[in-house]
Amino acid sequence: MLILVSGGAASGKSAFAEELITSSGIGRRVYLATMQVWDTESRRRVERHRAMRAGKGFETVERPLDLAGASLPAGSAVLLEDLTNLTANEFFSPQGPEGALERLRAGLRRVSESSGLLVAVTGELFSDGTCYGPETQAYLDCLARLNRAAAAQAVAVYEVVCGLPVRWKGGRV
């Protein structure tokens, strides 16, 4: 079962996604981390998210690429943080953008099928009104297509705005 949580930067989407996992009643909790740590800022973000999860019973699985190859405990509650980073990692990987969307969709399907609950977080990057170069625009198009596929597959879709979850599809599980 998949729930998609979207929102802008610092909107509260991660905290809401964690609350969905911790209130699910599923005892085994996995944080599926997708961020590749490149610099001090990304290191700070990782530490902030670790602090948010402290004491909540999450085990962390690092998987910045090849989501389909992730080894996760069957039936667990999985928090995938996040599709935005995962898409960038796949799109700009040595494999390149060709086939990235298919790899991402296959990985999302596999994790969703093997977990008891998958809460996937994604970023809202589409409303800034900025014109980007062709490579960045192609990445954004890939992410948008993945978000649409995830929303179609999901039993519930939320957007978090100013810390407030807005339900767009389904109900709270």
Residues in the chain: 173
What are the residues whose beta carbons fall under 8 Å from the beta carbon of 165, sequence distance 6 or more?
5, 16, 158, 159
Catalytic position from the list 49, 53, 63, 103: 49
The answer to whether 84 is a known catalytic residue is no
d(CA 168, CA 82): 19
**Among all residues, which ones are annotated catalytic?**
49
